[in-house]
């Protein structure tokens, strides 16, 4: 994720993505911006957990042999 933050004189924020070269949000106040970040990270966390559930134990390393489990 490559986000940049744009601010204005009203103390508002909007997020810009360098991946898709466009703004992800409209202007928002500080609390809305924080909620936006938290919501994004929460959904990424859920995606990571789903991925782990579907692929476990693939990608883990065996303690004794130190070999990657496939």
Largest CA distance in the chain: 58
Q: Look at residue 58 in the predicted model and tell me its pLDDT.
A: 94
Q: Are 28 and 14 in contact (CB under 8 A)?
A: yes
Chain segment 8-63, per-residue pLDDT in tens: 999 999 999 999 999 999 999 999 999 999 999 999 999 999 999 999 999 999 99
**Which residues does residue 36 pair with via DSSP β-bridges, in sequence order?**
none
Locate 9 and state its tokens. Answer: 């004189």
């Amino acid at each position: 994720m490559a986000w940049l933050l744009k601010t204005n004189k009203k103390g508002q924020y909007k997020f810009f993505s360098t991946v898709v070269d466009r703004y992800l949000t409209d202007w928002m106040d500080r609390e809305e911006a924080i909620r936006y970040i938290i919501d994004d990270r929460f959904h990424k966390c859920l995606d990571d957990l789903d991925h782990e559930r579907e692929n476990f134990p693939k990608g883990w390393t065996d303690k004794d042999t130190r070999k990657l489990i496939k």
